[in-house]
Amino acid sequence: MILTGVAERRALLARSTTIAMVGASGDPLRPSYTVFSYLRTESAFTVTPINPKLDEIDGIRAFASLADYARAHGAPDIVDVFRNPASLLPIVDESIAVGAKAIWFQYGVVNEAAIARADAAGLEVVVDRCIKVEIARFTGGLATAGLNSGIISSRRTGTR
């Protein structure tokens, strides 16, 4: 089922405890590192990086594949994907094979064939949303629009 409503995404997050992040990066300048770090330090989720090029990120063991992760920990509740849209079909297939319950495609990670395959296999599917933004929004860290509820301005204080 493709989860388009806020209540559906909130319910998915509420019943989930484990997230396998495909494409997590150890580079602090990459969005996939920022999201990984946030989930690891600011949420109750157990988040694990899936990246064949890394041994660990911030002391958390990285797995080369979802299959390796599943052998060690069982099926993840959510597979969070930070990958090029062209590479999504094998990730969906592996998510199905390991018994993941849901797949979450981050901002810009959109491949209609992969979305349809995940949906047809019975996975809960979130498309073109940031899991960090949604968690922060649902826990009071962000306003409804997805931005910090403080005043945002490009002006420096005291200048025009």
Tokens 């958390």 locate to 60
User: For the chain, which residues make up each domain, given as ranges?
Assistant: 6-138
Which pTM value belongs to this model?
0.85
Answer whether residue 90 shows pLDDT above 90. Answer: yes
**Residue 151: per-residue pLDDT:** 45
pLDDT digits (tens, 9 = 90+) for 54-88: 999 999 999 999 999 999 999 999 999 999 999 99
The runs of H, that is alpha helices, within the chain are: 6-15, 31-42, 66-73, 88-98, 112-120, 131-138
pLDDT digits (tens, 9 = 90+) for 117-147: 999 999 999 999 999 999 988 887 654 444 4
Contact 2, 125 (CB under 8 A): yes
- Dihedral over Cα of 44, 39, 53, 115: its sign: positive
Tokens 């062209």 locate to 86
Contact 102, 125 (CB under 8 A): yes
Torsion angles phi and psi, residue 125, rounded to 5: -125, 125
Question: Any idea which fold 6-138 has?
Answer: Rossmann fold (3.40.50)
CA–CA gap between residue 92 and residue 122 (Å, rounded): 11
